[in-house]
Amino acid sequence: MGASEDDYVGTFEKAASRNFLDAERLRRGNRSLGAIYHYGYCVEMLVKAAYFRMAFPVAQPPLPLATTRIDSGRRRQAVRETDAQGNRLVPNDFGPHDFKNWALLLTRKRALLAATDPVVVYDPALANEIRDRADRVYGYWKEYIRYRSFPVRAGELAIVRGDADWFRRNYPSL
């Protein structure tokens, strides 16, 4: 098992795929809460990977596993991001698994970069969709649900699954 200092965008992308597949297996086995847990982690990994891929680009082509590193220093830097006026891009109570605020950070950072870098594309409609879908999944998911047991309605599972799948399909555009 590696430490969090061994995290890269590529490892987050692979973790997202594994979590989605695990969620699918759990869903087919009528383990809805477990499925939601893994769909949520899929979304978390994709949103974070998209942020770090955009905020810390690397020279192309990258070396094997030498894609953008996601270490504790870069995580701390990310949650303290500010705009040109010094306003924080995300709230102070931003937790490590709070992918709702990671989505907010991703979209706000992309907007800031697009204002000064013509290579960075910012689509306000896509930004709204990213935030809306992350907010919706986060409403059903918290990292502590692995310790809980409560019923999940089929409609809730379908919503979370649909949004996790949307993040997977749209990841290159995030």
User: What separation in angstroms does the CA of 118 have from each of 112, 122, 128?
Assistant: 11, 10, 21
- Quick one: pLDDT at residue 129? 98
- Quick one: pLDDT at residue 31? 93
Q: Between these two residues, 29 and 147, which has the higher pLDDT value?
A: 29
Q: Quote the CA–CA distance of 102 and 86 in Å, as a whole number.
A: 19
Q: Quote the CA–CA distance of 114 and 52 in Å, as a whole number.
A: 15
- Tens-digit pLDDT profile for residues 89-101: 888 777 788 999 9
In contact, 123 and 149? CB cutoff 8 Å: no
Model confidence at 42, pLDDT cuts 50, 70, 90, reads: very high
**Range 2-21 average pLDDT:** 82
Model confidence at 66, pLDDT cuts 50, 70, 90, reads: very low
pLDDT of residue 49 exceeding 50, the answer is yes
Q: Between these two residues, 53 and 6, which has the higher pLDDT value?
A: 53
pLDDT of residue 168 exceeding 90, the answer is yes
Q: Quote the CA–CA distance of 36 and 157 in Å, as a whole number.
A: 6
Residue located via tokens 């953008």? 68
User: What separation in angstroms does the CA of 5 have from each of 69, 71, 72, 78, 133?
Assistant: 8, 5, 7, 15, 28
pLDDT of residue 51 exceeding 80, the answer is yes
Q: Quote the CA–CA distance of 155 and 149 in Å, as a whole number.
A: 18
User: What separation in angstroms does the CA of 104 have from each of 40, 66, 88, 114?
Assistant: 16, 26, 11, 15
In contact, 140 and 156? CB cutoff 8 Å: yes
Q: Quote the CA–CA distance of 50 and 13 in Å, as a whole number.
A: 9
- Quick one: pLDDT at residue 70? 72
- Tens-digit pLDDT profile for residues 98-137: 999 999 999 999 999 999 888 888 899 999 999 999 999 9
Average pLDDT of the chain to the nearest whole number: 86
